[in-house]
A and B are shown apart, each in its own frame.
Chain A
C-alpha cells in the first residue's frame, strides 16, 4: 500500500469544561490514501465533526498522532506547518455561517490569494477568482464576483466556500456535512461538482455526513467509516458498508433509513433496538459502547470487553464480538456468554 496522505493513529480527544470533562474521541485510527474518498458517517455526538477538525489541524488530539504524508503534524513548524496548513482545507455545513457577511465574494477569495503570494496584484487576483468561480460551476462568474453572501442562494454560497478552499491549492478537502443544508434538488449537482474537482485536481476528500445514502453516493468508489460514541465501529468500501453492514449499529442505521421508494422502504427489514436512548457522553456504557441498545448483545461478554476493529467475513472491519469474528469465533463468544448468563 502506498503511504497514506493522512492518517490518525489512536487519537483521543478530551474536552475539559469548568466542572466537567468529556471525552469525545476514543482511540480513533484511520487512513486516507491520495485521491481517495473517505466518508465518516454517524449520528450527532458521535465525534465525526471533532475528527474532521483534528484532521484539518483546527483542533489538536489529546493524545495520539496525526500524520500528513507520513510525517507527524505536531512536528511541523514554520514553513512545513504553513505548507500543511494550506494543504488541508475545510468546507462547512451551514452556507449562511460559512461566509463573512461583510465581504464580497471577490474579497473573500482574494484574501488568501494575496496573502500567500499566489497572485501578484489585484488584477491577477480578480482573474484567478473568476477562474475559480467558473471551476466550481458558479456562472456567470463576472455577475457573482462582487455580490455579498446575502445576495446569493444557499447552493451558491456553498460553491463559494468550495472555491475559497481551492484558492490555496489544497491536497485534502474535509467537507463537514457540506450538502445537508442545501435544497434536495441541488444536492446531487453540488456533490457532482466535488467529484469532478477531485478528478480534475487530484484531491483527497474526507466527507463527513450523518446521511448514509449521501455517503453511499459520494463515496461510491471510496470508503465509509461509521462512528458511534467517539469510536470507529465499522469501516470498509462504501458498497459493502451500505449493502452488507456487519456491525449491528450499522445494520440498525441501514435498516432505519427511509428510502425514496415506497416498495423498498416499506418492505425493508427493521432492526429492533433494545433501547432508543443514546447514552450520554458523560456516562458511557462499559464494554462495547453499543451493548445497551444492541439487538444481538451477548450477556456477560459485551458489557465487559470492548471489541476491537477486526476483519469481517465480507472484507470490512467491524468492532463487534459477535459479527466481526469468523463464525467459529462468534460461536465461541456466544457459548461463553451463555455460560456466564446461566
Chain B
C-alpha cells in the first residue's frame, strides 16, 4: 500500500534554452497524438473484424450450421454441396481449418468481399451496404452537425445569461430533449407535427426521394432529398441538441471563470473577440472529442428511426436482415458501420489535436 500511493514523478521543471519545436524524428512521430489515434483506430477495426468472424461461428446457434442444415433439408443437397454453397455465401472457405478460414476471411474483408446475402442469393453484401449506408451517413451527419452548431451557440447564450428566465427555460427544454430516447422523439414528432398540426405528410416523407424524381445533380432532386431526410435529421437534431447545449453551457461557465478571460478584458479586447477567440473556442474544444463519441450512439439510434420513417438507410436494412435472420448482411453491416464510426472518431480526434496545441505536443 505504502508505495502504491506514490508512483507519479513530481513535476519536472520544463524550460530549456533549446527551442521546443516538435522534432520530426521517428520517435516524435511514434509518440504523437495523431499516430496513437491512428493505431487505436486500426486496432479497433481489426478487433471488430476478428470479433465478427468468431461471433458467427462460435455462438451456440451457429448460423452457418443452421444454413447448411436448411439447405440439406429443403433442397436435398449433400453436406459437401451445402458447405460449398455456404462458403460462397459467408465469404470464407468453410471446409478449411479454422485458422486458415480466419486468414482467408480477413483477406476477403480487405478485398471488400463480405459474402452474399443469405435470403437473396446473388446479391453481394457490399452492394447492399453501398446502396444503404450513404443515406445514413448523410442524415446522421447532417443532424449531428446542425445540432452541434446550434447547441454550441445556445449553450454559450445560456452561460452568458445564466440564472435568467431565458436560461431556465432553455435549460429545462434542453434537459427534457436530451433525456427523451430518440426513437420516442420520432413518435412524438409524427404525432404533433404530422397528425395534430398536419405540417407534413408522413406517408410522402417515406424513402430517400420521391418516386418519379430523377437522381442527378439537379435542384429538384437535391430539394427532394432534403425534404425526405428532414424527419430523421430533425429527430437526430432534437435528441442531441439538448445535450450539446447543456454541455456547452457548463464548459462556457468554466471558461468564463478562467483568469485568461479576465485578462483579455483587462487588455481592452473587444467583446466579440473575447467571445469568439477566448471563450467560445476554449469552451468548444472539449466538446469536439464528445462529438466523436456521439457519432456511434446516433448511428445506433438510426436503426429504429429509419425503420419508423421508412428511410432507406443502413439501419433499416439491418432491421430487415434481423427479421430475416440474414446473418451475412448483419455481419457486413456491423463491420462497415463500425469502421465508419471508428474512422469518423479518428477524424474528430485528429481535428481536436489540431485545435488544441497542448494535445498536439504532449505525449
Is any CB of A less than 8 Å from a CB of B in the complex?
Answer: yes
Listed in ascending order, the chain A residues whose CB lies under 8 Å from chain B are 15, 17, 19, 22, 24, 44-45, 47, 49-50, 53, 57-60, 85, 275, 277-283
Interfacial chain B residues near A15, Cβ < 8 Å: 7-9
Residues of A within 8 A of B10 (CB): 24, 45, 47, 49-50
Residue of B nearest to A60 (CB): B3
Interface-located stretch among B11-19, B296-304, B333-341 = B11-19
Q: Residues 95-139 of chain B: 1 if any A CB is under 8 Å from the residue's CB, otherwise 0? A: 000000000000000000000000000000000000000000000
Q: Would you mind naming 15 contact pairs between A and B with Cβ atoms under 8 Å apart? A: A24-B10, A47-B10, A53-B6, A57-B2, A58-B5, A59-B5, A59-B6, A60-B2, A275-B17, A277-B16, A277-B17, A279-B13, A279-B16, A280-B12, A281-B13
Q: Which B residues are in CB contact (< 8 Å) with A59?
A: 2-3, 5-6
Most A Cβ at <10 Å: residue of B2, B6, B10: B10
User: Which residues of B are in contact with A by a Cβ distance under 8 Å?
Assistant: 2-3, 5-17, 31, 363
**How far, in angstroms, from A326 to B15 measured CA to CA in the complex?**
35
Q: A19-B31, A44-B11, A45-B11 are in contact. Are A58 and B6 (CB under 8 A)?
A: yes
Give the chain A neighbours of B16 by CB distance below 8 A. Answer: 277, 279-280, 283
Quick check: B14 and A280 within 8 Å, CB to CB? yes
* Contact (Cβ within 8 A) A280 B15: yes
Give every chain B residue within 8 A of A50 (Cβ-Cβ).
Answer: 10
- Distance in angstroms from A131 CB to nearest chain B CB is 29
CB distance from B182 to the nearest CB of A (A): 39
Distance between Cα atoms of A281 and B17 in the complex (Å): 14
Q: In the complex, what distance in Å separates the CA atom of A50 from the CA atom of B7?
A: 11
Give the chain B neighbours of A60 by CB distance below 8 A.
Answer: 2-3
> Please, which residues of chain A bring their CB within 8 A of the CB of B2?
57-60, 85
* Bound form: Cα–Cα A47–B363 in Å: 23
Measured CB to CB, the nearest residue on chain A to B3 is A60
Inter-chain contact A282/B15, CB cutoff 8 Å: no
CA distance A281 to B9 in the complex (A): 11
Distance between Cα atoms of A315 and B182 in the complex (Å): 79
Q: How far is the CB of B6 from chain A (nearest CB, A)?
A: 5
Question: When the two chains form their complex, are residues A278 and B15 in contact, meaning their CB atoms are under 8 A apart?
Answer: yes
A19 to B28, CA, bound (A): 12
**Which residues of B sit under 8 angstroms from A24, Cβ to Cβ?**
9-10
Q: A22-B12, A59-B2, A59-B3 are in contact. List 9 more A-B contacts (CB 8 A).
A: A15-B7, A44-B13, A60-B2, A60-B3, A85-B2, A277-B17, A280-B12, A280-B13, A280-B15
Kindly list chain B residues whose C-beta atoms are within 8 Å of the C-beta of A279: 13, 16
For A15, the closest partner residue in chain B by CB is B9
- Inter-chain CA distance A244–B14, complex, in Å, is 31
A279 to B14: give the CA distance in the assembly, Å.
8
Residues from chain A with a CB closer than 8 A to the CB of B6 are: 53, 58-59
Determine if A19 and B363 form an interchain contact, defined as CB atoms under 8 angstroms apart.
yes
B241 to chain A, nearest CB (A): 37
Tell me which of B2, B6, B9, B15 has the highest count of chain A C-beta atoms within 10 A of its own C-beta: B9
For residue A56, which residue of chain B has the nearest CB?
Answer: B2
